[in-house]
């Protein structure tokens, strides 16, 4: 009974992870269309329904006209234009509610049917806590743009995206554990590959968070050339802010430059790991995952350049954000494939299946 139950749990979490990916894409579109501040109140229950008549639309529009973004960026906006940005933010919040229900309701059903293993319950409860925290963090982010700013804080935007990636990554890992059970056998022959896979996951995550700062500052709309920035490899105003650390998070040229460098280093790391794996004995799942990481890394780097030089069109921007999540997914599956290995069912030992690497491997 346990195996069918685990498969059901795994299928639910895999579908839920896909729903999270869609939510991240809608969030990216909301940001790129400048729609994130169009709804100025947080109504978890009554906000399920959009404005349904002319009076309700006028009330929402009046609240938007009272914030700095309207006064400084969108003065004179028509009601029709407001409806377009409002509906993007509404779609983001509505789908977030659907995602929340798609977690809470099945989880409750699985618990009532006693289908959740005792060892899994703490992880699923933690995911629920993180989901609630993420909802509050989203509103905390929106609040930063309602009084003194014309956009949300890049710090809060990066925190919001980081939390989403943590929830998504944990869900992918748990779903993989349930759908493809393995045994945690830390074979010394794979230790080096575990370190390499972990480095790929770390660099991919750092690149994505650096991209959030680019998005928060709209830094992608500056220096739309590659590889030079204003005719220089390093932009002239890279270190203009003081103290120095503010340049990393608040200086548009520095933020864009840092994202370029980190993304390039991530791609180089992926290429090196992929080349080193050629002709090496690796588990089959690891080889497939590494191929996916390599292919997605190339695609994502190309999407990043295209998004930049074309001055961040919405479609490419959304694809670039989705590509970051797919690259992270492939990297996580690569890490798992060399961290957990399938139980041995023959007389062959793990070290015979994957022999110790020769020196310099």
Tell me the pLDDT tens digit for each residue of 212-243.
999 999 999 999 999 999 999 999 999 999 99
Round to whole Å and give the CA distance between 120 and 118.
5
**The pLDDT of residue 184:** 59
- Torsion over CA of 29, 35, 41 and 46, rounded to 10 degrees? -60
| pLDDT top residue among 283 and 316 | 316
Residue 361, pLDDT > 60, answer: no
Round to whole Å and give the CA distance between 151 and 17.
29
**Structural domain spans, the chain:** 1-181, 187-361
Among 289, 239, 297, 237, residue whose Cα is nearest residue 265: 297
| Cβ atoms 228, 236 nearer than 8 A | no
Write down the H helix ranges in the chain.
2-32, 54-65, 68-72, 79-112, 121-143, 154-179, 191-217, 246-250, 252-277, 284-309, 314-339, 350-353
Q: Which residues lie across from 229 on neighbouring strands?
A: 232
| Cβ atoms 283, 277 nearer than 8 A | no
Round to whole Å and give the CA distance between 303 and 313.
11
Task: Compute and round to an integer the Cα radius of gyration of the chain.
Answer: 23
| Cβ atoms 324, 207 nearer than 8 A | yes
Residue 51, pLDDT > 80, answer: yes
| Cβ atoms 347, 191 nearer than 8 A | no
Report residue 346's pLDDT band, with 50, 70 and 90 as the boundaries.
Answer: very low
Helix (H, G, I), strand (E, B) or coil at 139: helix
| Cβ atoms 341, 191 nearer than 8 A | no
Residue 354, pLDDT > 60, answer: no
Triad 289, 134, 146: Cα angle to 5°: 125
Among 90, 103, 104, residue whose Cα is nearest residue 26: 90
Reported pTM: 0.90
Report residue 185's pLDDT band, with 50, 70 and 90 as the boundaries.
Answer: low
Helix (H, G, I), strand (E, B) or coil at 232: strand
Residue 145 φ then ψ, to 5°: -110, 10
**The pLDDT of residue 71:** 93
For the purposes of burial, counting CB atoms within 10 Å of the CB of 115, is it exposed (0-12), middle (13-18) or buried (19 or more)? middle
């Amino acid at each position: 009974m346990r195996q069918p139950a685990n498969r059901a749990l795994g299928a639910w979490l895999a579908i839920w992870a896909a729903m999270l990916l869609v939510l991240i894409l809608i969030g990216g579109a909301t940001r790129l269309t400048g729609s994130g501040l169009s709804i100025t109140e947080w109504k978890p229950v009554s906000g399920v329904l959009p404005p349904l008549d002319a009076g309700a639309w006028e009330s929402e529009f009046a609240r938007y006209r009272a914030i700095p973004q309207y006064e400084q960026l969108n003065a004179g906006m028509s009601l029709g234009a407001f409806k377009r940005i409002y509906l993007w933010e509404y779609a983001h919040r509505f789908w977030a509610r659907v995602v929340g229900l798609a977690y809470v309701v099945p989880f409750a059903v699985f618990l009532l049917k006693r289908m959740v293993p005792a060892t899994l319950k703490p992880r699923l409860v933690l995911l629920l806590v993180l989901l609630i925290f993420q909802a509050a963090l989203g509103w905390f982010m929106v609040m930063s743009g309602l009084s003194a700013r014309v956009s949300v804080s890049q710090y809060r935007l990066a925190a919001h995206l980081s939390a989403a990636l943590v929830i998504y990554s944990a869900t992918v890992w748990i779903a993989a554990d349930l759908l493809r059970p393995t045994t945690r056998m830390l074979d010394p022959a794979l230790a080096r590959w575990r370190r390499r896979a972990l480095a790929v996951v770390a660099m991919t995550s750092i690149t994505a968070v650096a991209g959030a700062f680019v998005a928060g500052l709209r830094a992608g709309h500056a220096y739309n050339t590659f590889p030079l920035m204003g005719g220089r490899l390093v932009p002239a105003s890279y270190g203009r802010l003081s103290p120095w650390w503010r340049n990393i998070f608040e200086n548009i040229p520095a933020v864009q430059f840092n994202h370029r460098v980190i993304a390039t280093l991530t791609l180089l790391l992926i290429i090196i790991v992929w080349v080193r794996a050629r002709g090496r004995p690796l588990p089959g799942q690891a080889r497939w995952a590494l191929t996916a990481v390599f292919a997605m890394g190339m695609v994502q780097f190309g999407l990043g350049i295209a998004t930049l030089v074309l001055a961040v069109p919405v479609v490419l921007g959304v694809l670039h954000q989705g590509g970051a999540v797919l690259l992270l997914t492939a990297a996580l599956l690569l890490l798992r494939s060399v961290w957990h290995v399938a139980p041995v069912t023959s007389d062959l030992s793990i070290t015979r299946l994957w022999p110790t690497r020769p020196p310099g491997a």
